[in-house]
Structure 1
Amino acid sequence: MNPADFDLQASISRLFVYPIKSCAGVELQESLLIETGLEFDRAWMVVDEGGEFVSQRELPRMALIRPTLRHGDMVLRAPGMLALHIAFDRVEGPVRVRVWDDEVAAYDMGDIAAQWFSDFLSEPGQPKKKLRLVRFDPEHKRLSSRKWTGEVEAPNQFADGFPILAISEASLAEFNARMAAAGHEAIAMERFRPNLVLAGIEAHDEDRVDELRIDTGEGGQVLLRPVKPCARCTIPDVDPATAQTGTAVNETLRSYRADPRLDGALTFGMNLIVLEGVEQPLRVGQTAGANLRFE
């Protein structure tokens, strides 16, 4: 890849996957790109007894559930709980569940997992929650909104709406400068839950590029298209170390990130879709070229 062919050149500085929707992420040095994003990203989800997904919005303690990915299973740890092992090759019966407006096919992960999540996420002195862990059915096709992807069919698993979220280091640095000016402590990138963290570009350049072309170093390339700014809810105000909630993150975003593209919603980071490179590896240190988009 010739840098002279692009307006901007970035590098991947960090990679994250979030195996269970709204639980802690896993930082990796390498991840396989699949049709729905990074392998194992949002492949599992916690649902209530009606099959509706739950998240840190109503259950901030989900932030304290920390997965570890191993060769054949995922190990979940949480304060005060024994480790829970989730095998990659075993599921229970098929179920139907809801994530936002989509009803999708999934597989229940069994009673032991259900008990573990129900125990940890129930509040002392409150009625016991009845929660289940489910895994996305890979035969089901859940597509990103064609309003944003146009002619491209972009499948997801349990992500909010798009396969990949990218944020630049410079965007976080600018945000933290504004936090400091308002008398707040800096926060880590983990609050914004990106998949790709990009180094070497200016703040919010990820908002302004047409495509990211990533050299995999093995004769292949990955082509990702930014399609929609990421509208922010209250989850970035949940401290991933303590599950305590605050207001400083959204207050700071409100001061400069009201986005006319989304009718004034607060945005930070860009949602990407996969155009090319399925089954290619993404690694920390890979370079990405991009041209600025002018509309």
Structure 2
Amino acid sequence: MENVLSPAAELAARVSSLFVYPIKSCRGISLSQAPLTPTGFRWDRNWLIVNSKGRGLTQRVEPKLALIEIEFPEEAFAENWVPKKSLNMVVRAPGMDSLNISLATPKDIARGVSVWEWSGSALDEGEQASQWFTNFLGKPCRLVRFDSASETRPVDPNYAPGHFALFSDMYPFLLLSQGSLDALNKLLKEPVPVNRFRPNIFVDGCEPFAEDLWTEIRINDCTFHGVKLCSRCKVPTIDQETGIGGTEPLVTLRSFRSDKVLQPNRKPQGKIYFGQNMVWKDDETRIGRGKAIEVGDHVFVLGRVTSSVEAAT
């Protein structure tokens, strides 16, 4: 795929919302500022709920996870944050007492943890957390935390060699535009909110599906590479307020955002695309500068392809 590089950075959009999802498949947290790490925004998908076999649980099979709310102390997103045992992540769900999880690194190890193609060890958050999630989901569960000190999880090297993720599905960042969401909602009988699609970076001010074409962007002096259109699973069909699933918006998306429609000259695989997966290019010469992005930041496009036909999928 050959990029068409602009002679100068083109102002294309602005950041309208930022989200992190500390426990995979549970509710997200909206932020005004999000500190960057090479594996995603700080705290994003650091935790995973696993079943009795160590397999990660998601809304695909446990839609009730949509009802679990997460609260963080504001200082945990400060640039120079230092872990303290006194600071907690607070977990809440209907009919349950709140659960406090220390942000200090736990010491117990859980082995045989797996999520999608990856398996390894993780940090176990203990019996109290295990019992809380077991009671809520009605099956034996444990809460584990990614062990960044001893484990790595590479993304697909065909798209982003040398990059890593924690417990996110495939890539560290997901970007979506308001224009794309608006275009979809115009076709739906009942519009859906952005939380159905669980982006990290939500931008406004660009044409619908402009993000399909972005191969390199800059936000607040930080460079991101668009590596692959995001293929959607059934999670967008789950109402994040009720945990109840349906058929939309995937039925409508399939009519104009399937691989068959977007790339008619390729063999269709039944994929539906909405949003752009991204990685952050950490520039070592900028240590201490530009390590966070904020709502209101401008989005400059440095490289793009000319059409969705050329976009990586």
TM norm structure 1: 0.90
SS in 2 for 1:289: strand
SS in 1 for 2:191: coil
Of the three residues 118, 122, 125, the one matched with 1:106 is: 122
Amino acid corresponding to residue 194 of structure 2 in structure 1: M
Equivalent-residue separation in structure 1 for 2:66 and 2:107 (angstroms): 25
Q: How does 1:14-53 map to 2 (within 5 A)?
A: 14-53=17-56
The root-mean-square deviation of aligned C-alpha atoms, in Å, is 1.7
Q: How does 1:142-291 map to 2 (within 5 A)?
A: 142-149=153-160, 152-179=161-188, 184-215=189-220, 221-259=221-259, 260=263, 263-276=269-282, 280-290=291-301, 291=303
Equivalent-residue separation in structure 2 for 1:111 and 1:148 (angstroms): 39
- Which deviates more from structure 2 when the two are superposed, residues 237-246 or residues 258-267? 258-267
- Which deviates more from structure 2 when the two are superposed, residues 259-268 or residues 15-24? 259-268
Equivalent-residue separation in structure 1 for 2:101 and 2:108 (angstroms): 15
Contact 2:35–2:42 under 8 Å retained in 1: yes
Task: Note the C-alpha offset of 1:7.
Answer: 3.9
Task: Note the C-alpha offset of 1:6.
Answer: 2.8
Equivalent-residue separation in structure 2 for 1:8 and 1:265 (angstroms): 30
Match of 1:218 in 2: none
Match of 1:54 in 2: 57
- Which deviates more from structure 2 when the two are superposed, residues 26-35 or residues 95-104? 95-104
Gaps of 5+ in 2: 1-5, 76-86
Task: Note the C-alpha offset of 1:288.
Answer: 1.4
Task: Note the C-alpha offset of 1:5.
Answer: 2.1
Q: How many residues align?
A: 276
Of the three residues 82, 100, 121, the one matched with 1:85 is: 100
Equivalent-residue separation in structure 1 for 2:95 and 2:16 (angstroms): 33
Contact 2:38–2:279 under 8 Å retained in 1: no
Gaps of 5+ in 1: 123-128, 216-220
Amino acid corresponding to residue 145 of structure 1 in structure 2: D
SS in 2 for 1:156: coil
TM norm structure 2: 0.85
SS in 1 for 2:110: strand
Of the three residues 125, 133, 144, the one matched with 1:134 is: 144
Equivalent-residue separation in structure 2 for 1:204 and 1:87 (angstroms): 40
Cα shift readout 1:235-266 (whole Å, capped 9, x = no counterpart)? 11110101111102111111111024773401
Cα shift readout 1:42-63 (whole Å, capped 9, x = no counterpart)? 0000000110001111111100
Amino acid corresponding to residue 93 of structure 1 in structure 2: D
Amino acid corresponding to residue 196 of structure 2 in structure 1: R
Cα shift readout 1:111-138 (whole Å, capped 9, x = no counterpart)? 100110111112xxxxxx1000000001
Equivalent-residue separation in structure 1 for 2:186 and 2:295 (angstroms): 25
SS in 1 for 2:252: helix
Contact 1:104–1:142 under 8 Å retained in 2: no
Amino acid corresponding to residue 287 of structure 1 in structure 2: H
Of the three residues 132, 137, 155, the one matched with 1:121 is: 137
Amino acid corresponding to residue 161 of structure 1 in structure 2: M
Contact 1:228–1:272 under 8 Å retained in 2: yes
SS in 1 for 2:90: strand
